[in-house]
Amino acid sequence: MTPKKEQIDWLFVLPDDLIAGGAQQVLFTIINYFIAQGKRCTVIFLVKKKHHGWEILEDKCNIVYLDNTSVYKGFFSAAKYIRVLQKTNHIKHAISSQALINGLLGFLKYIKILKNTRLVLRESTSIFLRFKGFKLLLYKTAYIMGYKKANLIICQTDLMKQQLLEALPWLEGHKKVVVIPNPVNLDEIAEKSKATTDFNIENAIVAAGRFIPEKGFDILIDAFSQLENKALKLVILGVGTPEEHQKLIDQIAQLDLQERVILYGYVKNVYPIFKKAKLCVVSSRIEGFPNVLLQMMSQNNAVVSTKCAGEISNIKGITTCNTHDVMALKTAIEKGLKNTDDNKTLYFNDYIKSRSIDNFVATMLNQIDN
């Protein structure tokens, strides 16, 4: 007699455990929500444990770190692990936010390993603007392999959906491609914003994110160097590869800003720091949608952002400027420091509430079921 299978309500597959990454952060929020709803969740990371933050979920769901140091090797390990997993478990839903993993999950459904699993694939960045050459070819291959079997494809903005359908016209009318803005956990924000912090840097302009070219921190540092107010300091929260870190250190030294630009490192709870900042800024060249912008808006009414993603221009109350433009960012920062519209807090709160995790999940489930 064949043993009865256990049920996994939601299987999440992520490249690594860096919660500071936008895509991982969104999935972390969704996982927390489902756990609170009593759903059985399994989380698979393609590589060994590197960072901290997921420990709070270890006794609430099944967290698996595959024994790899390379994400690319992790694809093969993940395929093997999921194949074994489905033999003893009925996997009801699977979800991913990284295009190559999306392709893997779709391929596993195509070859019947995830035959009866409802597959939700989330777009995390504008692939066709961000990558070129071999990397773009690799991503296009993933789309062809995996996206035809998706039950739902989630884009963060209308612009992202438009770019996806223009690049992959065979998706038009073939699969369900919908726009659901990134969610935020209002309860988590309220709780984390109450925490105290030893951050005591006065007159701080604060930015946050991984040290990668897409975040535009080099542009931000150049723009900051042009500001007339020399009492201001620039604090960048985050980490990156040694190479990207060193590039920023060299740039700061060349501009003689060692006393005024601080690479603060990884911060587990950014909310109290955003609250203390004189101004918060997103300097990205390109994003799917910068989740850090929502975090900033929840704590501070002085927020500047480049137009690095669709919809940002429509957010009432933030000061925006074009991407890749040092002087435009400098002007936006100056304007943001002077803008004291008291209604901005109300604008921001209303906007963030519209992106609640409850709304996100309800919309997602409704789209899957229809």
Mean pLDDT in consecutive groups of 10 residues from the start of the chain, 370 residues: 83 87 84 95 94 85 94 93 95 93 92 94 78 78 84 90 86 81 89 92 95 95 97 95 94 97 93 96 92 93 94 92 97 91 81 92 88
Kindly tell me the burial class for residue 229, based on how many C-beta atoms sit within 10 Å of its own C-beta (0-12, 13-18, 19 or more).
exposed
- C-alpha dist (Å) from residue 356 to 66, 154, 169, 352, 365: 32, 16, 31, 7, 15
Task: Give residues with Cβ within 8 angstroms of 1, minimum separation 6.
Answer: none
The SS3 of residue 368 is helix
CA distance 295 to 304: 13
pLDDT score of 175: 64
Domain with CATH 3.40.50.2000 in the chain: 6-183+356-369, 187-353
* Residue 154 β-bridge partners: 122, 178
Q: What is the pTM of this model?
A: 0.83
pLDDT score of 224: 98
CB 318 within 8 A of CB 300: no
CA distance 124 to 194: 29
CB 2 within 8 A of CB 33: no
CA distance 32 to 361: 12
Q: Which CATH class for the 6-183+356-369 domain?
A: alpha beta
pLDDT score of 163: 86
pLDDT score of 164: 87
pLDDT score of 194: 93
Architecture of domain 187-353: 3-Layer(aba) Sandwich (3.40)
pLDDT score of 174: 62
